[in-house]
A and B are shown apart, each in its own frame.
Chain A
């Protein structure tokens, strides 16, 4: 692959433009699935990244703690405009949703918790469970490759949901065992 193909197809944007594009994505990415909106915005429309770098940054986002949407904003912002880029991209991404949820907090306290809105929210909560299970299935299809992986999933989930093991312990213990299970084998080295 030549250098021209791997470098971003257009020059990096100004900080103002970067903020604006992330603000628009932060305001329009309704219904979760921010990753799809990010790819459309960054790779297809602005052409700031190619698909290869997008997937690479996404795999970092998914491995590290933090939400995909904010991790991607940080990594993309940093790659395009350094530390300030990471900051303005993240602020743009978060501002619309945060403003709405702050308003929701006040509305709930100011009598927005009557029986009808409670009934509406209870319905939404049931729907959100369906949404999470879909995310789970998609995440699982990408991540789980062997029977051992499914065992790690079930043990971690059972420990936390049924045996009340605090998440950090489960994360550290299961994480170390699972990473060790997937440790580099000599046969992997050419």
Chain B
């Protein structure tokens, strides 16, 4: 029961950090779920995050997986509600207000200012995730190839991501053999 309250607190807090996308909350998510509460290991967190990129819809549905690990179905529901309700309510009310603020002088300032900070937070998330995921030369090559493919072509991201998984299995085959 205490776990469920912890889950609610952690994910409600994380939800408010998702400025510019879910990745912005990744550094704190690692800190809290791995280092503070020991709900899962860093590789497990990376695995869930990456699987979440393959699931349809919003790309942070992996919070439900962490919820399952901590408290089965109730855990998943608590994690989901905690992660989406606070920002959801904020968006709902500010969204109604925002259209009335179309001519407010500070509105472009807030958009431009928060924009660059948001990119910085996503970059921080990418660095922390990269440190965990790119553990050798070949994993670096996977990241680079996926980056170039997605940057230069219109390919659906699901294909190169699944292909990375298959390459990961091939690497395992050759290193284990």
Mark A residues whose CB is within 8 Å of B: 25-34, 56-57, 59-71, 74-75, 78, 83, 86, 90, 93-98, 100-102, 104-106, 108-109, 113, 115-116, 118-137, 139-140, 143-145, 149-150, 152-162, 166-168, 170-171, 174-175, 177-184, 188-189
Contact = CB atoms under 8 A, between A and B. Distances in A.
Given A94-B58, A182-B109, A153 B123 contact: yes
A40 B80 CA distance: 27
Contact of A27 (B56, B129, B134, B147): B56
A59 B68 contact: no
Given A94-B58, A116-B172, A128-B129, A67 B22 contact: yes
Interface of B: 15-25, 27-28, 31, 43-44, 46-69, 73, 76, 80, 84, 87-88, 90-92, 94-96, 98-99, 105-106, 108-130, 132-135, 139-140, 142-151, 156-169, 171-172, 176
Contacts of B146: 126-127, 129-131
A75 B122 CA distance: 23
17 contacts: A27-B57, A32-B59, A65-B15, A65-B87, A68-B21, A78-B96, A86-B88, A101-B51, A124-B47, A125-B46, A128-B129, A128-B164, A143-B116, A159-B124, A167-B25, A171-B117, A177-B113
A36 B123 CA distance: 22
B13 to A, nearest CB: 8
Given A65-B87, A97-B52, A97-B57, 15 more contacts: A34-B58, A69-B57, A71-B87, A83-B92, A93-B58, A95-B57, A101-B61, A118-B172, A119-B171, A128-B129, A129-B126, A131-B147, A153-B120, A166-B28, A167-B27
Contact of B169 (A70, A93, A120, A127): A120
Contacts of A177: 113
B123 to A, nearest CB: 4
Given A66-B91, A123-B171, A182-B108, A29 B57 contact: yes
B65 A178 contact: no
Contacts of A144: 115-116, 119
B48 A129 contact: no
Contact of B119 (A121, A127, A143): A143
B137 to A, nearest CB: 11
A94 B168 CA distance: 29
Would you call the interface of chain A mostly helix, strand, loop, or mixed? helix
Nearest to B132: A125
Contacts of B18: 65-67
Given A62-B20, A119-B168, A128-B53, A70 B120 contact: no
